[in-house]
Amino acid sequence: MNRDLASHLRSGTQQSHTLSENTAYMKCFLKGCLQKEIFSELLGNLYFVYSTLETELLRHKNHPIVSLVNFSQLNRTAHIKEDLAFYYGENWREKIALSEAGENYVTRIQEVSKTEPALLVAHSYVRYLGDLSGGQALKNIVRSALELPPELGTRFYEFDAFPSTGEIRQFKARYRDALNSLPVDEELTQKIVAEANLVFRLNCDLLHFLEPKVKDAIGEKQFAEIIGEEKPGSTENTVELGVIR
């Protein structure tokens, strides 16, 4: 059995992580170039991603591997619903749509749930450990850029079970310990790492879908200036939407 899955995931996805950080969408996001319509469209796609992931994790709540990293306090769907109600109104379900990139993402989650549920570990790792790591920084960027009213529009980034930075840090350590406790052999470890790299790519595809809209919103000149700045990348202190460690 492999007792160091967390380290394998971290080192094995470093390149994918850096590529994700350097998407044009994320570069603009970190510069505060946010537009309410585009951000809410991303949240709409993430609603489908998280609701699918959390449905499949629950489906396998008794799985010998998946169950060990299924922490209900990480669930994002309910919080995303609150944000969508804020941005679109109470009839938000009628106004959101799943993009082609989002559909590919959702389909992949459903596929692995049916064929090899243990690979859901990779989806959980990329999404939730990312959300825990960069949520507060991203929340502050969104609140400032969109000039949001207090306590509205950024529930996606908030974890009610972990209200402080210290509690988040403690839970991240607990999550990594859970990863390292999984009964996985070397072959399955490599499959999980490969799936995590695919999750990064699926997330990048979702961000790429939004980039032309960002370009139109801020203008070609500013867009070109921002995307020309290369980030070196980090596996520990990086801020990226939904994919942060």
- Binding site, annotated residues for heme b: 10, 17, 125, 176
Report the alpha-carbon distance of residue 52 to residue 77 in Å, rounded: 9
| 3-state secondary structure (DSSP) of residue 95 | coil
CA 233 from centre of chain = 17
157 within 8 A of 139, measured Cβ to Cβ: yes
Instruction: For residues 85 and 78, give the distance between their C-alpha atoms in angstroms, rounded to a whole number.
Output: 11
Cα–Cα separations (whole angstroms), residue 214 to 38, 102, 165, 193: 7, 17, 31, 31
Residue ranges of the annotated binding site are 10, 17, 125, 176
Map tokens 């394998």 to a residue.
8
- Residue 23: helix, strand or coil by DSSP? coil
Query: Taking Cα atoms as reference points, which of 13, 14, 12 lies closest to residue 232?
Result: 14
How far is C-alpha 121 from the chain's CA centre?
Answer: 14
- SS3 per residue for 141-202: HHHHHHCCCCCCCCHHHCCCCCCCHHHHHHHHHHHHHHHHCCCCCHHHHHHHHHHHHHHHHH
